[in-house]
Structure 1
Amino acid sequence: MRNAAPWVIAATLAVFAGCQNDADLEGAPLSSDSDYTAVGTCKDGLPRLDLKTAPGVCVGIAATGFKFPRGIAQAPNGDIFVADMGGWGTDLGSIWRVKKMANGKYLPQQLLTQIDKPSGIAINPKDGLVYVGTPKDIFRFDPNQTPRPRLTLVVNNMPDDGRHPLKHFVFDGQNPDIIYVNVGSFSDVCEQANGSLPTPCPEEAISRAGIRKYVMEGPDRKAANFTVIARGLRNSMALAVHPKSNILLQGENSRDTINKRAPELANQELDLPHEELNVIREGQHYGWPYCYDNGIPSPEYKTADCTGYQKPALLLPGHVAPLGMEYYPDAASARAKMFPAVYQGSLIVAYHGYREYGHRLVMVPVDANGVPGQGQPLDIIRGWEQNPGKQNPTGAPVDVLIANDGAIWLTEDKNRTLLRVSYDPAGGNGQPMVAEPPRQQNVSPEEAARCQALRTKSDAFSVVQRDVIDNNCVSCHGAGPGFPGSLALLRCDDVGNAKRLLEPRRNAGPLVTPRDTNSELLRRLKGQGYPQMPAGGLSPEAFKEVEDWVKAGAPAPR
């Protein structure tokens, strides 16, 4: 058992409650940067998205106008609560309540503002209060308290730095005083600033890359201590507790760029490593950073003995980024069941990943205890793939909620929307679709040659190209005609992209001025004076790579 740091007085959280004018949000149109086009309506009257779905399944737009919606929860009275992260800047987040109106529309109401990167959100079944996870804390509040909700700090002083600062959490199914919290890794594969890869990974000693168990105790129901119940988990943004067996299931967001130290895997980097679904057993180690998949040593740790690490219950496709999941009620449950029998008792998972296997909603077959491995995931929704001249992907689900009426709700952060997924038997049998392998995009010989050359480069801008531009920018700025802001940033084109960022534009100066940390590009990436790009901003480490290049004088790639 470890002691948390001394309590911070709740009043110092610098969080302010407030309500926006309801009329300002009712029926708000899709934001101008949305890639969505509504085609008709669902049976519930919501605008229908033109996506490929299981027969009879309809994806409706319930609410718009968010900045970066992440977590979602529902109160017993039906109110929906959304944690809007706002972006990667400090204190940009907000908490919303979405109420269903008499006319069938959904009205968003802003409850809290100036929250630092809220991600996890849940309703505790014991006290009925809303719990919110920020990188450093978990707090709770009564949404009905007037004139403004009073915030109570429940968990504090969690690590909030590095590659994975966001927190997701769930309550134990049998004891709602227990909170299981994701504490992600600081790094990708425990790489150090000096390039070393120590064994054992020092992050284990500070309880990173695992799941913590906090127990709320005493009359004030706060958690002053924690136990690490599982280690070797890089980033556990998807957590679910089975309603009957009470097993804790984890969705692993596995490592990136496996080909950096294993060039022989360059052609498999889109497929490896697989993401994972893990049954959490207290005291077990799940292999990060030493091993991946079913006990394969990572290229950085080729001599690792993987036999002592817990194996995944199911391997998911590579880089799908499971960020939310929940069990659908089974046939014996008293909860409402809108979807047909094939869904009942299964696991519903949101794939957020931008790569070819991602941006889908899937159904994972499980056994009576909720353990995966009874079959491969099936697609409920797909079709967020690239459209000509538009971004790729055009949408990406984040968190999943099975609502009181049996509908499936999703937060979707690329278009800043809240989606309600419903089923109408008149439209078909609802049978999920066999997963469709990603279409291989045609790559020009020029692009293939650029990408091959880029793999061998290590100068500052080539790193920016590989880690930042190719992963975050080309999905919008790499698909013409009509490049956003008339800025083309092409895949693997380190030479051309550096030149475009440094040259004056037709009606403005350059995006980057060497050694100027007030350059427009950096301000746009932070959302200072401009709409933030990409949506939600960069991760802290990605931003630092760009900033370091600018500070160094923006040298041309070699």
Structure 2
Amino acid sequence: MRNTAGWMISAAIGLLSWALPAQTGAAPRTGYAAPQGTCDGYPRLDIGMAPGFCAGLIAGPTAADPARPLRLPRSLVQLDETTWLVTDLGSWGSVNGAVWKLQSQPGQASVLTRLIDGLNLPHALALDPDGLAYVGEMSRIFRFDPQAENPVDTIETVIAGLPDNRLHDNRHPLSKFVFAPDGALLVNVGAPSDQCLDAAGLAPGKTCPESDTGEQAGSIRRYAQTGPGRWSGDHTVHARGLRNSVALAVHASGTILQGENSYDFATRWAPFDEINRIEAGRHYGWPYCADVATPTPGWRSTAAMACGSAAHTAPVILLPPHAAPLDMLWYQGAMFPALDGHLLMTWHGYRSVGGRIAAFATDADGMPIADTAPRYPVYGGSARPYGRGPAANALILTPGWGKLTGTRPQGSPVGLAVARDGAIWTTDDRAGLIIRIAAERP
């Protein structure tokens, strides 16, 4: 089966070559062994999967063919049975980003076509009921018609004036957005720093301006809908005290959840990342509080916030420390009935708890259900207890995605999508892969 897999990948790259710009000074980055066998018709990647699941390669480099057409793939949506859109950051701190069209069928070479390039860190991607594609760049949200003969000609800015957060001035420059139940656009504004401390590691005042005031405060903005396909140019701050809301999702019940990438403390085991239920007017604690009610070291001596009080909205469940949630959705599909209604989430973190796709059981409102003795997995060690606060035992779909020299790097999943056939698609930006998780079969 190795020769079949190699032919599929090589043919795909051959079809791509006319559309790719020159990559000066960019050596191909590989790390995955050549696929062995197939996963539901696609070359099988050597990723340890939960029983009943397998991982198939849609596009990206392996030892069979190290060519890397997608530089940093992030989000993806399905247009029809065989066609997808994919955002590609290109490279950090540049305008090398792109939107690609991907055509893929089992047993055939995938074909990528660059639709739009010259973008500034494109990340979020969504479709509206009319089939228009919405893309979040660093400083705006735009839409276009992916079916047009020349999609570039259909680009229209929807939301302008988002913070132009240069990478090295701001740790969280990506624009994530979701459509609220009332039609408003909710847009992430990542916090301008990790902990809002000065050069000496001290609180710069009685409160943090990066949390409580200013256009670049870590928050979720709300842009009210003014008509079909139109939104106000002004915004209100829907929720604040959020370090980075790249994982943001709206349940059919109206529940809005956020996956919080918490502080970059040096210790491996603190603080916990979070899932927060987003409600208007709430403050979720950044940079004053961590976990459920723990003051952060840099702000402990101030009276900025009483972390155990109603001023701080505590998370609904804790996530492993440094898991780095980057996307989530509720599964609805025919391929995996046991996952129906589960909250799926990518953990992008590079430490030993990252590199996973997790699934949480939820209630009727889409809220993860806490367990009485929750533990979280660790590559190279035993599962660890959370020890405090509400948390849940996740079903890890990719328990064997840690680094294995000569076989694979540790996974770094970003975007999630459920295909019409119920398969789960994801991107791995560090490896440049698009992966299809399917039921275990050849």
| TM-score tier (shorter) | 0.7 to 0.9
Cα deviation 1:122-149 (Å, max 9, x = unaligned): 1113x22000001100000001112343
Pick from 190, 195, 201 the counterpart of residue 189 of structure 1: 195
Conserved? CA contact 2:145–2:151, under 8 Å: no
Pick from 311, 315, 318 the counterpart of residue 314 of structure 2: 311
2: CA distance between counterparts of 1:155 and 1:144? 22
Paired residue type of 2:299: Y
Pick from 247, 258, 261 the counterpart of residue 250 of structure 1: 258
Deviates more, 1:227-236 or 1:75-84: 75-84
CA gap 1:322/1:21 in 2 versus in 1, 3 angstroms: closer
Which has a greater percent of helix? 1
CA gap 1:220/1:339 in 2 versus in 1, 3 angstroms: closer
1: CA distance between counterparts of 2:70 and 2:13? 15
Q: Note the 1:152-171 alignment, pairs <5 A.
A: 152-161=156-165, 162-171=170-179
State the shift of 1:108 in Å.
1.4
Paired residue type of 2:185: I
2:65 paired residue number = none
1: CA distance between counterparts of 2:145 and 2:14? 20
State the shift of 1:388 in Å.
3.7
TM-score with structure 1 setting the length? 0.65
CA gap 1:351/1:193 in 2 versus in 1, 3 angstroms: same
1: CA distance between counterparts of 2:245 and 2:231? 23
1:23 partnered with 2:15:
yes
Q: Note the 1:147-546 alignment, pairs <5 A.
A: 147-149=150-152, 150-161=154-165, 162-172=170-180, 174-175=181-182, 177-192=183-198, 195-197=201-203, 198-203=205-210, 204-207=212-215, 208-218=217-227, 221-243=230-252, 245-257=253-265, 269-303=267-301, 304-306=305-307, 307=309, 308-329=311-332, 336-341=333-338, 343-374=339-370, 375-388=392-405, 393-424=409-440
Conserved? CA contact 1:22–1:109, under 8 Å: no
Conserved? CA contact 1:251–1:278, under 8 Å: yes
1: CA distance between counterparts of 2:199 and 2:235? 29
State the shift of 1:219 in Å.
6.7
State the shift of 1:102 in Å.
8.1
Cα deviation 1:391-448 (Å, max 9, x = unaligned): 8x43311111112211100010121011111013x69xxxxxxxxxxxxxxxxxxxxx
Conserved? CA contact 2:134–2:143, under 8 Å: yes
Conserved? CA contact 2:221–2:239, under 8 Å: yes
Length, aligned pairs only: 382
State the shift of 1:355 in Å.
0.1
Conserved? CA contact 2:159–2:233, under 8 Å: yes
CA gap 1:147/1:300 in 2 versus in 1, 3 angstroms: closer
1: CA distance between counterparts of 2:348 and 2:128? 26
CA gap 1:32/1:135 in 2 versus in 1, 3 angstroms: closer
Larger Rg: 1
2:23 paired residue number = none
State the shift of 1:45 in Å.
1.7
1:522 paired residue number = none
Paired residue type of 2:16: D
Secondary structure of 2:238 counterpart: strand
2: CA distance between counterparts of 1:270 and 1:361? 19
Secondary structure of 2:263 counterpart: coil
1: CA distance between counterparts of 2:199 and 2:34? 47
CA gap 1:389/1:38 in 2 versus in 1, 3 angstroms: closer
2: CA distance between counterparts of 1:407 and 1:79? 14
1:55 partnered with 2:62:
no
State the shift of 1:23 in Å.
1.9
The unaligned stretches of length 5 or more in structure 1 are: 1-19, 260-268, 330-335, 428-558
Structure 1 residue ranges, 4+ long, deviating more than 6 angstroms after superposition: none
Secondary structure of 2:213 counterpart: helix
Conserved? CA contact 1:44–1:104, under 8 Å: no
Secondary structure of 2:230 counterpart: coil
2:132 paired residue number = 129
1:5 paired residue number = none
1: CA distance between counterparts of 2:245 and 2:228? 30
Conserved? CA contact 1:276–1:293, under 8 Å: yes
1:140 paired residue number = 143
CA gap 1:165/1:32 in 2 versus in 1, 3 angstroms: closer
State the shift of 1:44 in Å.
2.6
Secondary structure of 1:164 counterpart: coil
CA gap 1:388/1:144 in 2 versus in 1, 3 angstroms: closer
Secondary structure of 1:23 counterpart: helix
2: CA distance between counterparts of 1:228 and 1:337? 38
1: CA distance between counterparts of 2:258 and 2:419? 21
CA gap 1:74/1:210 in 2 versus in 1, 3 angstroms: same
Deviates more, 1:245-254 or 1:44-53: 44-53
Pick from 71, 75, 84 the counterpart of residue 71 of structure 1: 75
Secondary structure of 2:16 counterpart: helix
1:549 paired residue number = none
2: CA distance between counterparts of 1:21 and 1:420? 18
2: CA distance between counterparts of 1:376 and 1:56? 19
State the shift of 1:41 in Å.
3.3
CA gap 1:25/1:422 in 2 versus in 1, 3 angstroms: farther
State the shift of 1:103 in Å.
5.1
State the shift of 1:205 in Å.
0.7
Conserved? CA contact 2:41–2:106, under 8 Å: no
State the shift of 1:77 in Å.
5.2
State the shift of 1:101 in Å.
4.6
Paired residue type of 1:321: A
Paired residue type of 1:420: R
Cα deviation 1:95-127 (Å, max 9, x = unaligned): 0111235854432111001001101111113x2
CA gap 1:215/1:405 in 2 versus in 1, 3 angstroms: farther
Paired residue type of 1:408: I
Paired residue type of 2:46: D
State the shift of 1:196 in Å.
4.3
State the shift of 1:390 in Å.
8.2
2: CA distance between counterparts of 1:97 and 1:328? 24
Cα deviation 1:260-316 (Å, max 9, x = unaligned): xxxxxxxxx101000000111111111110000011011111144111211111101
2: CA distance between counterparts of 1:38 and 1:59? 13
Paired residue type of 2:357: L
